[in-house]
């Protein structure tokens, strides 16, 4: 059954709802209500996202909010729908996919522009394929926490407004309980939306979708000239703009040590947002070949592969837009806006982590040198950068040296680092380093501890983590267990695509 047999009640949120995506027409979606979550309970919510939407934070604690965000009611003026898309999964064309467990409730106008509000885990849709349309508490906690943690780190991302749970059993590797997370973003359109219509030869719909995205999110690309210099070719300009945003995004991932885990084309945002938090992980020890998704047996989405995979996905987007762009050479030229900016963005991020200012000759030797050292010694990535920041601030490098078995090799790099900064004419900026090297990130073991407690009905650890992750670059006295080294058992955690 795809929908409840009786109409759902409505909730007046006080917001003005619309749905511009629905106006694209039935080729793009199926309208249907959510499937109510039985016996829902409030697990967590984000006052910051509520404020962005114009919702009172206190309202999130109300019964009305629980009914709405558990799928037991609809927003007054909303028009819920599931969108259709296709995509490549693990490098293989998977055909039609779509919102198999998500429903777009609609969009609301905010001071930051229109924001779409989507339920994830809200039941079966025509695109559920063999799935059950549900999400489980485990993965929903991870998505809720990581969405807000990434935002606090300054990394473009979808946001998480609300998380509710239910005793409803859901079968994954074991029997778990259901949950619904409410996600917020300007748009949830993916590369796969374009692939869907291109693969079917539905070029009118493909053009309609591209024009919609340009008008709403890339108006500078409307005539092509102001967006990459593609005069008269708005679709090449769009491809270039998306490539540029994607380059900046993946550079931020690499710098902070974030592994997405499942970078399929249907998990790539057309807006350059981090989307679809599944088997993600922040690195513990630095291992360029680290695979965070145990379903990724070939290592396609390993940490060091992410920049190349994102470019591969952009080529698939370019292929989908080819019927609109025309000349293949123009499309290839637009994709160069990833190849060139990515290393520039990455170097900029790494210079900030080292407290360095403008680019100087020799930056690469310093950055490559420390990354090789971290990999060879399997050094904890977040702790190294935070200790280095304090070492520069306090002129005491012993805590950094304690991380390395080969101290002499580290000392040679430290000398190179100091000499390079001196040649650049300025000592490393400790304040810049402390702002770019977080004291806390959402490591797997921290999420796991919150999940295990939540599965027993205790949400206090989740709320503590949420509070700490909102201020990732501040010190957190009394929380050394959360900002220190991971416990030994964390190395055995295994995260899969199942959710």
- Using one digit for the tens of pLDDT, what is the confidence trace for 288-345? 999 999 999 999 999 999 999 999 999 999 999 999 999 999 999 999 999 999 999 9
Of the candidates 268, 261, 153, 275, the one whose C-alpha atom is nearest the C-alpha of residue 493 is 261
Q: Are 177 and 205 in contact (CB under 8 A)?
A: no
Q: Phi and psi for 161 in degrees, rounded to 5? A: -90, -40
Give me the pLDDT at residue 3, please.
46
Give me the pLDDT at residue 130, please.
87
Q: Are 374 and 381 in contact (CB under 8 A)?
A: yes
Give me the pLDDT at residue 5, please.
46
Q: Phi and psi for 205 in degrees, rounded to 5? A: -70, -35
- Cβ burial of 169 (10 Å; 0-12, 13-18, 19+) is exposed
Tokens encoding 460 = 């206090």
How far apart are the C-alpha atoms of 372 and 414, rounded to whole Å? 13
Q: What is the mean pLDDT of each run of 10 residues along the chain (499 residues)?
A: 65 95 97 97 98 96 98 95 98 97 97 95 95 96 98 98 98 95 98 98 98 97 72 92 98 98 98 97 97 94 98 98 95 94 97 93 96 98 98 97 97 96 88 98 98 97 98 96 94 79
Of the candidates 119, 104, 103, 116, the one whose C-alpha atom is nearest the C-alpha of residue 15 is 116
SS (H, E, C) 153-186: CCCCECEEEEEEEEEEEEECCCEEEEEEEEEEEC
- Using one digit for the tens of pLDDT, what is the confidence trace for 150-205? 999 999 999 999 999 999 999 998 999 999 999 999 999 999 999 999 999 999 99
How far apart are the C-alpha atoms of 231 and 217, rounded to whole Å? 19
DSSP 266-305: GG-BTTS-B---SS-EE-SB--TT---BTT-TT-TT-GGG
Q: Which residues contact 188 (CB under 8 A, 6 or more apart)?
A: 83, 102, 104, 116, 118, 158, 269, 275
Please identify which of the residues 266, 276, 380, 429 carries the catalytic annotation. 266
Give me the pLDDT at residue 229, please.
63
How far apart are the C-alpha atoms of 167 and 40, rounded to whole Å? 8
* Angle 113-116-121 from CA coordinates, rounded to 5°: 160
Tokens encoding 282 = 């922040």
Please list the helix, strand and coil fractions of the chain in percent, rounded to the nearest 5, in that order: 45, 15, 40
Q: Check residue 5 and report its DSSP letter.
A: S
**CB atoms near residue 166 (< 10 Å):** 22
Of the candidates 427, 423, 363, 361, the one whose C-alpha atom is nearest the C-alpha of residue 392 is 427
Per the listing, tokens 């999110």 go with 217
Interaxial angle between packed helices 306-325 and 341-353, expressed in degrees from 0 to 180 and rounded to the nearest 10: 150
Beta bridge partners of 468: none
Residue 28 zone, left/alpha/beta (φ > 0; ψ -120 to 50; rest): alpha
The reply to whether 63 belongs to the active site is: no
Interaxial angle between packed helices 407-423 and 363-377, expressed in degrees from 0 to 180 and rounded to the nearest 10: 160
Give me the pLDDT at residue 227, please.
61
How far apart are the C-alpha atoms of 199 and 411, rounded to whole Å? 56
Strand pairing report for 159-171 and 92-96? unpaired
**CB atoms near residue 456 (< 10 Å):** 7
Which three-class secondary structure state does DSSP give residue 300? Answer: coil
Give me the pLDDT at residue 6, please.
54
Would you state the torsion angle of the CA atoms of residues 180, 184, 187, 188, taken in this order, to the nearest 10 degrees? -30
Would you state the torsion angle of the CA atoms of residues 477, 479, 480, 483, taken in this order, to the nearest 10 degrees? -110
End-to-end C-alpha distance for the chain, whole angstroms: 21
């Amino acid at each position: 059954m795809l929908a409840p047999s009786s109409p759902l009640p409505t909730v007046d949120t006080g917001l003005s709802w619309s749905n511009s995506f629905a106006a694209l027409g039935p080729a793009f979606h199926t309208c249907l209500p959510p499937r109510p979550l039985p016996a829902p309970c409030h697990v967590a919510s984000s006052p910051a996202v509520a404020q962005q939407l114009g919702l009172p934070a206190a309202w999130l604690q109300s019964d009305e909010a629980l009914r709405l965000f558990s799928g037991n009611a609809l927003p007054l003026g909303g028009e819920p729908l599931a969108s259709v898309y296709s995509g490549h999964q693990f490098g293989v064309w998977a055909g039609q996919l779509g919102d198999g467990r998500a429903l777009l409730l609609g969009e609301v106008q905010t001071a930051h522009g229109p924001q779409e509000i989507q339920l994830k885990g809200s039941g079966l849709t025509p695109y559920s394929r063999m799935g059950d349309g549900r999400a489980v508490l485990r993965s929903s906690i991870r998505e809720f926490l990581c969405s807000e943690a990434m935002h606090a780190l300054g990394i473009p991302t979808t946001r998480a407004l609300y998380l509710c749970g239910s005793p409803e059993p859901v079968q994954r590797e074991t029997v778990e309980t259901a949950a619904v997370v409410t996600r917020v973003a300007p748009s949830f359109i993916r590369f796969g939306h374009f692939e869907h219509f291109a693969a079917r030869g539905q070029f009118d719909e493909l053009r309609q979708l591209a024009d919609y995205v340009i008008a709403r999110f890339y108006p500078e690309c409307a005539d092509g000239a102001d967006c990459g210099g593609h005069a008269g070719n708005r679709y090449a300009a769009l491809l270039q703009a998306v490539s540029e945003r994607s380059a900046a995004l993946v550079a931020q991932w690499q710098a902070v040590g974030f592994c997405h885990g499942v970078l399929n084309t249907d998990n790539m945002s057309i807006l350059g947002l981090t989307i679809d938090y599944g088997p993600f992980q922040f690195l513990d020890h630095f291992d360029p070949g680290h695979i965070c998704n145990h379903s990724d047996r070939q290592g396609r989405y390993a940490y060091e592969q992410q920049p190349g995979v994102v470019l591969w996905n952009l080529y698939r987007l370019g292929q989908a837009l080819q019927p609109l762009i025309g000349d293949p050479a123009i499309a290839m030229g637009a994709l160069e806006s990833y190849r060139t900016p990515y290393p520039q963005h990455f170097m900029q991020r790494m210079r900030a982590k080292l407290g360095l200012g403008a680019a100087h000759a020799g930056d690469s030797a310093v950055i490559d040198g420390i990354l090789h050292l971290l990999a060879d010694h399997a050094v904890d990535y977040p702790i190294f950068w935070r200790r280095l920041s304090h070492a520069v601030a306090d002129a005491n490098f012993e805590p950094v040296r304690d991380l390395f078995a080969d101290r002499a090799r580290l000392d040679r790099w430290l000398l190179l680092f100091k000499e390079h900064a001196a040649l650049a004419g300025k000592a490393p900026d400790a304040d810049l380093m402390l702002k770019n090297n977080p004291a806390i990130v959402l490591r797997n073991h921290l999420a796991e501890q919150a999940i295990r407690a939540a599965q027993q009905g205790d949400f206090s650890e989740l709320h503590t983590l949420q509070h700490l992750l909102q201020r990732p670059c501040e010190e957190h006295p009394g929380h050394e267990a959360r900002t220190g080294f991971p416990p030994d058992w964390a190395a055995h955690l295994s995260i899969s695509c199942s959710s």
